[in-house]
Protein backbone atom coordinates (compact mmCIF):
# COMPACT_ATOMS: atom_id res chain seq x y z
CA UNK A 1 0.00 0.00 0.00
CA UNK A 2 1.35 3.41 -0.92
CA UNK A 3 1.98 5.89 1.89
CA UNK A 4 -0.15 9.18 1.93
CA UNK A 5 1.75 12.17 0.66
CA UNK A 6 2.51 14.86 3.27
CA UNK A 7 3.69 18.34 2.28
CA UNK A 8 7.18 19.13 3.57
CA UNK A 9 7.16 20.85 6.98
CA UNK A 10 9.23 23.99 7.51
CA UNK A 11 12.37 23.55 9.49
CA UNK A 12 12.39 24.80 13.07
CA UNK A 13 13.03 28.56 13.17
CA UNK A 14 12.12 29.18 9.53
CA UNK A 15 9.45 31.72 8.60
CA UNK A 16 5.95 30.45 7.95
CA UNK A 17 4.87 31.33 4.41
CA UNK A 18 2.42 34.24 4.35
CA UNK A 19 -0.45 34.77 1.92
CA UNK A 20 0.48 37.07 -0.91
CA UNK A 21 0.13 40.76 -0.08
CA UNK A 22 0.09 40.36 3.74
CA UNK A 23 3.41 41.00 5.48
CA UNK A 24 4.74 38.53 7.96
CA UNK A 25 5.67 39.40 11.55
CA UNK A 26 8.22 42.19 11.61
CA UNK A 27 7.87 42.88 7.91
CA UNK A 28 7.30 46.40 6.64
CA UNK A 29 4.03 47.42 4.97
CA UNK A 30 4.19 46.69 1.21
CA UNK A 31 4.13 49.73 -1.05
CA UNK A 32 0.54 50.50 -2.06
CA UNK A 33 -1.04 48.11 0.49
CA UNK A 34 -4.39 49.07 2.07
CA UNK A 35 -3.59 50.44 5.56
CA UNK A 36 -6.97 49.18 6.84
CA UNK A 37 -6.00 45.60 5.79
CA UNK A 38 -2.83 45.95 7.79
CA UNK A 39 -4.77 46.92 10.91
CA UNK A 40 -4.13 50.66 10.85
CA UNK A 41 -6.97 52.91 12.05
CA UNK A 42 -8.08 55.81 9.84
CA UNK A 43 -7.24 59.35 11.00
CA UNK A 44 -9.83 60.80 13.43
CA UNK A 45 -12.71 62.62 11.79
CA UNK A 46 -12.90 66.35 12.11
CA UNK A 47 -15.39 67.67 14.66
CA UNK A 48 -18.85 67.74 13.11
CA UNK A 49 -21.07 70.78 12.97
CA UNK A 50 -23.38 69.16 15.53
CA UNK A 51 -20.42 68.61 17.83
CA UNK A 52 -19.62 72.31 17.73
CA UNK A 53 -23.26 73.16 18.46
CA UNK A 54 -23.23 70.89 21.51
CA UNK A 55 -20.15 72.61 22.91
CA UNK A 56 -21.87 75.96 22.53
CA UNK A 57 -24.94 74.51 24.30
CA UNK A 58 -22.76 73.54 27.23
CA UNK A 59 -21.39 77.08 27.44
CA UNK A 60 -24.89 78.59 27.47
CA UNK A 61 -26.17 76.20 30.14
CA UNK A 62 -23.18 77.10 32.30
CA UNK A 63 -24.05 80.77 31.86
CA UNK A 64 -27.66 80.38 32.95
CA UNK A 65 -27.12 77.85 35.71
CA UNK A 66 -23.79 78.94 37.15
CA UNK A 67 -22.39 82.09 35.59
CA UNK A 68 -25.63 84.03 35.79
CA UNK A 69 -26.37 82.90 39.34
CA UNK A 70 -30.12 83.33 38.90
CA UNK A 71 -31.88 84.57 42.04
CA UNK A 72 -35.63 84.09 42.11
CA UNK A 73 -37.59 85.58 44.95
CA UNK A 74 -39.90 88.42 45.90
CA UNK A 75 -38.77 90.97 48.46
CA UNK A 76 -40.58 93.24 50.88
CA UNK A 77 -41.47 96.48 49.16
CA UNK A 78 -41.81 94.92 45.70
CA UNK A 79 -44.65 96.23 43.59
CA UNK A 80 -47.43 93.70 44.24
CA UNK A 81 -48.84 94.11 40.75
CA UNK A 82 -45.45 93.38 39.16
CA UNK A 83 -44.96 90.30 41.32
CA UNK A 84 -48.42 88.95 40.48
CA UNK A 85 -47.75 89.55 36.78
CA UNK A 86 -44.39 87.81 37.08
CA UNK A 87 -45.94 84.72 38.65
CA UNK A 88 -48.08 84.35 35.52
CA UNK A 89 -45.04 84.20 33.23
CA UNK A 90 -43.96 80.94 31.59
CA UNK A 91 -41.37 80.01 28.95
CA UNK A 92 -42.30 77.43 26.31
CA UNK A 93 -40.88 75.71 23.23
CA UNK A 94 -43.33 76.41 20.37
CA UNK A 95 -43.74 73.96 17.49
CA UNK A 96 -42.22 76.49 15.09
CA UNK A 97 -40.11 79.57 15.68
CA UNK A 98 -40.39 82.41 13.20
CA UNK A 99 -41.05 79.91 10.42
CA UNK A 100 -38.44 77.38 11.54
CA UNK A 101 -39.47 73.86 12.60
CA UNK A 102 -38.05 72.12 15.64
CA UNK A 103 -34.79 70.33 14.86
CA UNK A 104 -35.11 66.52 14.78
CA UNK A 105 -31.38 65.71 14.89
CA UNK A 106 -31.22 63.22 17.82
CA UNK A 107 -28.15 64.77 19.42
CA UNK A 108 -29.73 68.23 19.44
CA UNK A 109 -33.07 66.90 20.70
CA UNK A 110 -31.20 65.25 23.58
CA UNK A 111 -29.30 68.50 24.20
CA UNK A 112 -32.59 70.43 24.38
CA UNK A 113 -33.91 68.06 27.01
CA UNK A 114 -30.64 68.23 28.92
CA UNK A 115 -30.68 72.04 28.94
CA UNK A 116 -34.14 72.14 30.49
CA UNK A 117 -33.23 69.40 33.00
CA UNK A 118 -30.05 71.20 34.12
CA UNK A 119 -31.89 74.47 34.66
CA UNK A 120 -34.63 72.71 36.61
CA UNK A 121 -32.02 71.04 38.80
CA UNK A 122 -29.98 74.18 39.44
CA UNK A 123 -32.92 76.60 39.77
CA UNK A 124 -35.51 74.50 41.66
CA UNK A 125 -37.71 77.50 42.44
CA UNK A 126 -38.23 78.21 38.73
CA UNK A 127 -41.83 77.96 37.52
CA UNK A 128 -40.78 76.75 34.04
CA UNK A 129 -37.69 76.21 31.93
CA UNK A 130 -37.05 75.69 28.23
CA UNK A 131 -34.31 74.69 25.83
CA UNK A 132 -34.68 74.02 22.12
CA UNK A 133 -33.34 74.19 18.56
CA UNK A 134 -35.09 75.33 15.41
CA UNK A 135 -34.15 75.41 11.74
CA UNK A 136 -31.86 73.28 9.58
CA UNK A 137 -28.19 72.94 10.62
CA UNK A 138 -27.29 71.62 7.16
CA UNK A 139 -28.39 74.94 5.66
CA UNK A 140 -26.60 77.04 8.29
CA UNK A 141 -29.99 78.08 9.64
CA UNK A 142 -30.15 77.30 13.33
CA UNK A 143 -31.59 79.02 16.40
CA UNK A 144 -31.11 77.93 20.00
CA UNK A 145 -33.39 79.14 22.77
CA UNK A 146 -32.96 78.73 26.50
CA UNK A 147 -34.88 80.35 29.32
CA UNK A 148 -36.31 80.16 32.81
CA UNK A 149 -39.28 81.78 34.53
CA UNK A 150 -39.87 82.87 38.13
CA UNK A 151 -40.08 86.11 40.11
CA UNK A 152 -36.79 87.92 39.48
CA UNK A 153 -35.62 90.13 42.35
CA UNK A 154 -33.37 92.22 40.08
CA UNK A 155 -33.94 91.47 36.36
CA UNK A 156 -31.37 93.96 35.07
CA UNK A 157 -28.66 92.49 37.31
CA UNK A 158 -29.56 88.95 36.18
CA UNK A 159 -29.25 90.00 32.56
CA UNK A 160 -25.94 91.79 33.09
CA UNK A 161 -24.54 88.85 35.06
CA UNK A 162 -25.47 86.50 32.22
CA UNK A 163 -23.88 88.83 29.65
CA UNK A 164 -20.68 89.04 31.71
CA UNK A 165 -20.51 85.24 31.72
CA UNK A 166 -21.11 84.83 27.97
CA UNK A 167 -18.49 87.45 27.23
CA UNK A 168 -15.99 84.80 28.27
CA UNK A 169 -17.84 81.66 27.21
CA UNK A 170 -19.17 82.81 23.82
CA UNK A 171 -16.92 85.77 23.08
CA UNK A 172 -19.89 88.15 23.27
CA UNK A 173 -19.08 91.73 22.30
CA UNK A 174 -21.01 94.87 21.40
CA UNK A 175 -23.91 93.84 23.65
CA UNK A 176 -26.11 96.91 23.39
CA UNK A 177 -29.62 97.70 24.60
CA UNK A 178 -32.39 96.90 22.11
CA UNK A 179 -36.17 97.30 22.08
CA UNK A 180 -37.48 94.56 24.41
CA UNK A 181 -40.91 94.45 22.77
CA UNK A 182 -44.40 94.48 24.28
CA UNK A 183 -43.39 92.11 27.09
CA UNK A 184 -41.17 94.82 28.56
CA UNK A 185 -38.12 94.38 30.73
CA UNK A 186 -34.58 94.81 29.42
CA UNK A 187 -32.89 93.26 26.39
CA UNK A 188 -29.47 93.40 24.76
CA UNK A 189 -28.08 91.92 21.54
CA UNK A 190 -24.54 91.56 20.25
CA UNK A 191 -21.99 89.48 18.39
CA UNK A 192 -20.38 86.28 19.57
CA UNK A 193 -18.34 83.35 18.32
CA UNK A 194 -17.48 79.87 19.54
CA UNK A 195 -15.76 76.90 17.92
CA UNK A 196 -15.24 79.03 14.83
CA UNK A 197 -18.98 79.68 14.46
CA UNK A 198 -20.37 83.23 14.21
CA UNK A 199 -23.22 83.87 16.67
CA UNK A 200 -25.91 86.52 17.00
CA UNK A 201 -26.83 86.67 20.70
CA UNK A 202 -29.79 88.33 22.43
CA UNK A 203 -30.53 88.20 26.16
CA UNK A 204 -33.65 89.45 27.92
CA UNK A 205 -34.82 89.75 31.53
CA UNK A 206 -38.02 90.98 33.15
CA UNK A 207 -39.66 90.45 36.53
CA UNK A 208 -40.88 87.02 35.42
CA UNK A 209 -38.17 85.52 33.19
CA UNK A 210 -34.60 85.41 31.95
CA UNK A 211 -33.80 84.04 28.51
CA UNK A 212 -31.33 83.87 25.67
CA UNK A 213 -31.65 83.53 21.91
CA UNK A 214 -28.58 82.40 19.93
CA UNK A 215 -28.79 82.52 16.14
CA UNK A 216 -25.91 80.62 14.58
CA UNK A 217 -24.04 81.95 11.53
CA UNK A 218 -25.51 85.46 12.02
CA UNK A 219 -24.48 88.77 13.52
CA UNK A 220 -25.97 90.50 16.52
CA UNK A 221 -27.79 92.95 14.24
CA UNK A 222 -29.36 90.08 12.30
CA UNK A 223 -30.41 88.43 15.56
CA UNK A 224 -31.88 91.71 16.79
CA UNK A 225 -34.12 91.86 13.71
CA UNK A 226 -35.77 88.56 14.76
CA UNK A 227 -35.53 88.92 18.52
CA UNK A 228 -38.94 90.48 19.20
CA UNK A 229 -40.83 87.80 17.25
CA UNK A 230 -38.82 84.98 18.79
CA UNK A 231 -39.19 86.21 22.37
CA UNK A 232 -42.95 86.65 21.94
CA UNK A 233 -43.20 83.00 20.90
CA UNK A 234 -41.16 81.75 23.88
CA UNK A 235 -42.43 83.91 26.76
CA UNK A 236 -46.10 83.72 27.64
CA UNK A 237 -48.25 85.20 30.38
CA UNK A 238 -51.51 83.63 31.50
In a domain, residue 179? The reply is yes
Query: Which pLDDT tens digit goes with each residue over 18-75?
Result: 444 434 444 444 444 443 344 434 444 444 456 666 666 656 655 555 434 445 555 5
Total domains present in the chain:
1
211 has pLDDT over 50: yes
Query: Which pLDDT tens digit goes with each residue over 128-164?
Result: 999 899 999 889 899 999 888 988 888 888 888 888 8
In a domain, residue 32? The reply is no
In a domain, residue 30? The reply is no
Of the candidate ranges 4-8, 25-29, 172-176, 185-189, the one whose mean pLDDT is the lowest = 25-29
Query: Which pLDDT tens digit goes with each residue over 183-199?
Result: 899 999 999 988 788 99
In a domain, residue 85? The reply is yes
In a domain, residue 147? The reply is yes
Mean residue pLDDT across the chain: 76
Nearest Cα residue to 98 out of 229, 208, 7, 194:
229
**Residue 15: predicted pLDDT:** 47
CATH of the domain at 76: 3.40.1000
In a domain, residue 191? The reply is yes
Domain coverage including residue 188:
49-237
**Residue 83: predicted pLDDT:** 80
**Residue 42: predicted pLDDT:** 44
DSSP letter string, 180-232:
--TT-SEEEEEEEEETTEEEEEEEEEETTEEEEEEEETS-HHHHHHHHHHHHH
**Residue 52: predicted pLDDT:** 63
99 has pLDDT over 80: yes
Model confidence pTM above 0.85: no
In a domain, residue 207? The reply is yes
Higher pLDDT, 98 or 1: 98
Amino acid sequence: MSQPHHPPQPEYGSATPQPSGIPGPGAGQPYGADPMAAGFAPPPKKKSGVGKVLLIVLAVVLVLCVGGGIAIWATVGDDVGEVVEATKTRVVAPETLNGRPKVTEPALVAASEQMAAEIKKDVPEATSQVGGFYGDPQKNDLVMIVGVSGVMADPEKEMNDAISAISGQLGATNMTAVEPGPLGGDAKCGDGSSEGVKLGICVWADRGSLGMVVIYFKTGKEAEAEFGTIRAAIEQRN
